[in-house]
A and B are shown apart, each in its own frame.
Chain A
Amino acid sequence: MSVTAQSTKSNPFEAERNGLQLRRSIVNKLSIILTGFFAICASLFLIYLIGYIAAKGLQFINANFFTQRPRAPGETGGGWATALQGSAILITLATIIGVPLGMAVGIFLSEVGRGPFASFVRFLVDTLTGIPTIIFGLFAWVLIVVPSHSFSAVSGGVALGIIMIPTVARATEEVLRLVPNDQREASAALGATHSRTIMQVVVPAARSGIVTGVMLALARVAGETAPLLMTAGGTPFFNTNLFHQIDAIPLRIFNFTLSPYQIERDQAFSGALVLIVFVVITSLAVRWATGGFKRRGR
C-alpha cells in the first residue's frame, strides 16, 4: 500500500503531465493532512474535556465527597453521598428489571425463535435502541409518577431498566451465536432437553460475553439524566424507601450546573469526573474483556 504519486515518475510523458502529477500529489498530501487533522481534533477534544473536568473537579474529591450529604445551598463543604447511594439503588433496580428481560430476549432470538415472529421481536428491540431516552422517562412518568403523585426510585429503575433491555438482548444474542453448535449437539446427544442445553451448556459457555453486555448497558444507564429528571426527582437527603424520590449523580450534576452558587457549579465538575471515570473504566474493562472473549471464541 506504499504506492504514492512519486512512483509514477518514470513516466516518459512526465514533462507534459507534470502539472497534473503535481496537482494529484498535492491533493493526496492535502487529504492526508486534512483527515489527520480531523482525527487529531476529535481525540484532542476528548483529552481536553476530560482534562478540564479533572482539573476543576479534583479539588472536591476527598473523603467528604463520598460520605457527606449535600449542605444547604451556598454553604461550603458537603458531599455527594446521597447521589452515590441513589445511583447505586437506581442501577441495581434497573439491573433487576433489565437484565432478565434482555437476556430472555437474547436467548429467544438466538436459540428458540424462528420465522417472522423472531424477526418482529428483533426489529422491535432494534427500534428500542434508537429511541431517545427521555421517551422512556416520559413512559415511566405517565405510568408511575403521575398516578402516584410522587417521584420514586421505582419509576427511575423502570425507566433505566427498559433502556438496558436492547443492549443486553443484542449482546446476549451475539455471544450465544458464537457458541459452537457442537456443544449443543453434544448436550442433546447426552439426552439433555432443550432447556437444559440452553441453561447449562450454551449460556455458561457465553457467560463472559453476557457479563460484558450487561456492563456496557450499566455504563450506558449510569450517565442517563433526562429519564431520571422526571422519575427519580432528586433530593439532598438519604433515602432507602423505593417509593420516594431519590438522588442520582447525573441529576445532581444537572442541578448544580444551573446553580447560582460558584461552589455548587465547581462541585458539578467533581460529580462529572466521578461519573466519567466510572463510565470510561467500565468501557475499558469491557473492551479488554471482549478482546479476550473474541480471541478465545476463534
Chain B
Amino acid sequence: MEVPVATERNSIQARSRAWLRASLSQIRVQARRPGDFAFRVLLYLFVGIVLVIVLGIGWVLLSSSWPTIQQFGFKYLTNPAFDPIHNTFGVGPALFGTFFTSAFAILLAVPLSVGTAIFLTEFCPRRLRFPLAFLVDTLAAIPSVAIGLWGFLVFAPWLQQTGEPWLQQHLGFLPFFQGTPYGVGMLAAGLILTAMILPIITAISREVMVVVPVSQREAMLALGATRWEVIRYAVLPYGRVGITGGAILGLGRALGETIAVTLVIGNQATPPSASLFQTGYTLSSVIVNQFGEATPGVFLSAVLEAGLLLLLITLLTNILARLLIARMGRVGGGLTA
C-alpha cells in the first residue's frame, strides 16, 4: 500500500481543482435560481450571526477583563480581597466556594440520582413509573429563583434554628460541622444545588441504563443473580461512562448556578475551612453582588474576569461531559447493533 509522494500531491491538487470546479458550477447553478441562492445566503447569514455571538461572548469577556489580567495576573485567582476601595481584586474565596459547594452537591447528588434512576428503570412498578419520572423531571423545570426564594426564607432559617444545631450536637466532632450556624452558607447552598442537579443526573442515568442490552441482563439472571446483582454487575459497569458524563454535566450546572446560590450562600467571605457552616461566595454570586457598583476601569474589568473564569470552568466541564456521553452513545450503539 505504498503510495508515491508525488502521486499523493497530484491527487490532492486534482481533488482541490475538482472541488473548486464543482463549487464554481454550484454557484453558477444557484445563480440561475435566485430564490434558492437568496435562501442560502440568508441561512448562512443567520448561522454566521450565531457563530459571531458565541465567539463574541468569549472575545468580549476576554478583552474587557484584559486590564485586570494584566494588572493582577495569577494573583487574581488567590487574592482573598475583592475590594474596590483599596483597588485590589481577587476571587480566591469565590473559587473556593464555587468548588466546595459543587463538590458537596455532586457527592450527595450522584448516589441519590443514580439510585433514583435505578429505581425508575429497574424496580419501579409500572403504574408508579410515569408519575414518579414526571415529578423528578418537573423538578428540573422549577425556576432557580423560586428554589432560592424557598431556600432563603424557609430552608436557611430552619437550618439555623434546627438543622445545624442538631448536626453540631451529634456530629460536632467532624471538621464539617464547626463554627456558628448562620443558616445561610455552604451547607444550604450545597443542599439546594443537590436538589437542582438531581433531575439532570437522574435523566441521563436513566437514558444510559435503558440502552444496556437486554441480553446482558438476561445473561446475569441466567447465572442466578438477584435483581440487585444484575444492576451491580451488568447494568452499572456498562453504563459507567455515560453516568460519569451525566454527573459532570450536573457538575457544570452546579458550578454555574447563580440566583439560588447567591440567595443562600451568605455572601460574606470567611477564611476557607472544611466547615459547611461557613458563609462564602461563588464566582457567580460575586458577579451578582458587584456588577451594580462596578465603575468603568479596573473594577468593571475585575467583575468581568470572574465571568470569564466561570465561562472557562463550565466550558471545560461541559466539553468533558459531552465527550463521555458521546463515547457512551457509540459504545452502546455498537454493541446493540
Complex CA distance for A162 and B249, rounded to whole angstroms? 20
Tell me, yes or no, whether A183 is within 8 Å of chain B by CB.
Answer: no
Interface of A is mostly: helix
Number of inter-chain CB pairs below 8 Å: 252
Question: Residues 225-257 of chain B: 1 if any A CB is under 8 Å from the residue's CB, otherwise 0?
Answer: 011110100000000000000000100100111
Look across to chain B and name the residue whose beta carbon is closest to the beta carbon of A219.
B141
Partner of B49, one of A49, A101, A230, A253: A101
How far is A52 from B155 in the complex, measured between Cα atoms in Å? 12
B81 at the interface (CB under 8 A from A): no
Decide: B284 and A132 in contact? CB cutoff 8 A.
Answer: yes
- Whether A43 pairs with B132 at a CB distance below 8 angstroms is yes
Q: Check A35/B43 contact, CB under 8 A, given A45-B195, A142-B60, A193-B33.
A: no
C-alpha gap A45/B196 in the complex (Å):
11
**A224-B259 Cα distance, complex, nearest whole Å:** 9
Q: Are A36 and B149 in contact (CB under 8 A)?
A: no
Complex interface: stretch among B1-9, B88-96, B110-118, B329-337? B110-118
Tell me if A226 is interfacial: C-beta within 8 Å of chain B: yes
Chain B interface size, under 10 / 10 to 19 / 20 to 34 / 35 or more: 35 or more
Name which residue of chain B comes closest to A41, CB basis. B112
Which residues of B are found within 8 Å of A146, using beta-carbon distances? 296, 300
Contact of A162 among B53, B145, B149 (CB under 8 A): B53
CB-CB contacts of A185-211 with B at 8 A, as 1s and 0s? 000000001111011000000000000
A258 to B264, CA, bound (A): 11
Indicate whether A134 reaches chain B with its CB closer than 8 angstroms: yes
A232 to B229, CA, bound (A): 54
Q: Are A280 and B141 in contact (CB under 8 A)?
A: yes
Contact of A135 with B311 at beta-carbon distance under 8 Å, contacts A42-B112, A193-B33, A223-B145 already known: yes
Cβ-neighbour of A257 out of B51, B118, B148, B310 (below 8 A): B148
Any B CB within 8 A of the CB of A38: yes
B18 CB to closest chain A CB (Å) equals: 16
Question: How far is B134's CA from A42's CA once the two chains are assembled, in angstroms?
Answer: 11
Contact with B along A217-245 (1 / 0, CB 8 A): 00100111110011000000000000000
Q: Could you tell me if B43 and A253 are in contact, using CB atoms closer than 8 angstroms?
A: no
* A174 to B205 Cα, complex, angstroms: 21
Tell whether, in the assembled complex, residue A225 and residue B227 are in contact, meaning their CB atoms are under 8 Å apart: no
Contact check, B136 vs A253: say whether CB atoms are below 8 A apart: no
Which residues of B from 111 to 130 have beta carbons under 8 Å from A? 111-113, 115-116, 118-120, 123-124
| A66 located at the interface, meaning its Cβ lies under 8 Å from any Cβ of chain B in the complex | no
Q: Would B43 and A24 count as touching, CB distance under 8 A?
A: no
With contacts A32-B228, A126-B322 known, is A38 near B115, CB below 8 A?
yes
Which stretch (B67-75, B175-183, B271-279, B312-320) binds chain A? Answer: B312-320
Task: With both chains docked as a complex, state the minimum distance between the C-beta of B265 and any C-beta of chain A, in angstroms.
Answer: 14
**Are B54 and A42 interface neighbours, CB within 8 A?**
no
Q: B35 contacts A196, CB within 8 Å? A: yes
Contact A134 B310 (CB under 8 A): yes
The docked-state distance in angstroms from the alpha carbon of A169 to that of B152 is: 35
- Flag if A131 contacts B314 (CB, 8 Å): yes
Most chain B CB atoms below 10 A, which of A36, A42, A46, A199: A42
A178 at the B interface (CB under 8 A): no
**Residue numbers in B under 8 Å from A194 (CB-CB):** 36, 39
User: A46 to B143, Cβ gap below 8 A?
Assistant: no
Chain A CB within 10 A, most for which of B50, B252, B255: B50
Are A28 and B150 also in contact (CB < 8 A) when A132-B314, A139-B60, A193-B33 are? no
Q: Does A96 contact B (CB under 8 A)?
A: no
Cβ-defined contact, A130 with B249, below 8 A: yes
Q: With both chains docked as a complex, state the minimum distance between the C-beta of B109 and any C-beta of chain A, in angstroms.
A: 10
Question: CA of A50 to CA of B135 in the docked complex: distance in angstroms?
Answer: 11
Residue from the list B42, B112, B144 in contact with A225, Cβ < 8 A: B144
